[in-house]
Amino acid sequence: MPARRKGTIGILTAGGDCPGLNAVIRGVAKAAMHHGMRVVGVQDGFRGLVENRLVPIDDNMVSGILTQGGTFLGSSRDKPHKMRVDGEIRDMTEFAVRTYKRNKLDCLVCLGGNGTQKNAYRLHQKGGINVLTLPKTIDNDIAETDITFGFDSAMSIATEAIDRLHTTATSHHRIIVCEVMGHDAGWLCLGAGIAGGADVILIPEIPYSVEAIVRSITARRQAGKRFSIIAVAEGITPHDVGASPPTSTPARKGKPRRKDAAPARVHDDIPGVETLIYEPVASRLAREIQRATSIEARVTSLGHVQRGGTPTAFDRLLCTRLGTKAVDLLEQGRFNVMVAIRGTECVPVPLSKVAGVKRTVPLDHPWIRTARLVGTCLGDA
């Protein structure tokens, strides 16, 4: 006898892609179907919700996707309350809620990072709909959870890259600066830097001094170590921010310019591209260090490589646990929460405590102490 239908849930992926999204979709869908729920997927994030682009998900659709990177539903960075439509920015919250009600959804499960947590909470507040979120980001910077899915996979990729850079650095006696993602949080760079044996690790939470970095590299050379690997988080800030080149144009619309970014080139003929493009922080840093040490320096920016590919075994397990826990909460009628990892447990956390809060690396975190004890320079005095 077929199981009685217990409602319909929608699921969407928003923001940047990362390893594990398909694994979470699979976990949610399989557990929901086990409980007799109907599952529909929203294509391309919140834009798909506004445009009513929903597809039914069955067992065959989620079979075999556990190991696949990315998201088969597609993603976007669109926000329902600030969405570009016909060249204008409009509040499309009403249309998102209309889609929710038209499809008789009982809850919308949103997989995403800080922006997605805020957008989901805003939909609940303004539209009165039920939401439930799962913490996705390689940056590991979502509040109220010990770890986010995608982080372990990205850290493994960044670590392997640093491992490989050792080969060239040692062969040519160079300084190699490796830029790692993470926005304004240093979790990814710090973890990969320690695991990869980087000699210098620079994170946003600790303002750096070029002089301190040069002293560390010089000391290594004097000790007979003729190469250095520098792991750099993309959001680092120099200790003396006043020394940065002045500019009045933001690096990204709606966001402040990164304090140590330097103007690089102008695009006047590409529609939709900001007028001023800024030089990556790693490039400028490498140039300064090479000038100060007279040692040849090279730059590697890992970029989106960190977000692609197959999720690690850790992330696959984490994603499956988070997905199934989400459905357990839905069965209990628990809505408007994020499923967080606390120790070894998956626990619900009110979205009001998560939305708009960023989790950065505490200066007394054990990873920082570990780095210092093995002689890693963190760019400070």
Q: Which positions are annotated as active-site residues?
A: 139
CA distance 57 to 54: 9
Chain-centre distance for alpha carbon 21:
12
DSSP 8-state secondary structure symbol assigned to residue 2 = P
For tokens 């926000």, the residue is: 79
Q: Name which of 219, 223, 233, 373 is nearest 302 in CA terms.
A: 233
Amino acid (1-letter code) at residue 242: G
Burial string for 324-357 (b: 16+ CB within 10 Å, else e) reads bbbbebbeeeebbbbbbbeeeebebbebeebbee
The pair phi, psi for residue 49, each rounded to 5°, is -70, -45
Nearest partner of 23 among 150, 157, 109, judged by Cα:
150
Tokens read off for 55: 């597809």
Contacts of 141 (CB under 8 A, 6+ apart): 113, 114, 148, 182, 183, 184, 185, 187, 358, 359, 360
Joined tokens for residue 362: 């505490």
From residue 230, give the alpha-carbon distance in Å to each of 8, 66, 227, 241: 49, 34, 10, 20
Contact residues for 367 (Cβ-Cβ < 8 A; gap 6+): 190, 191, 194, 361
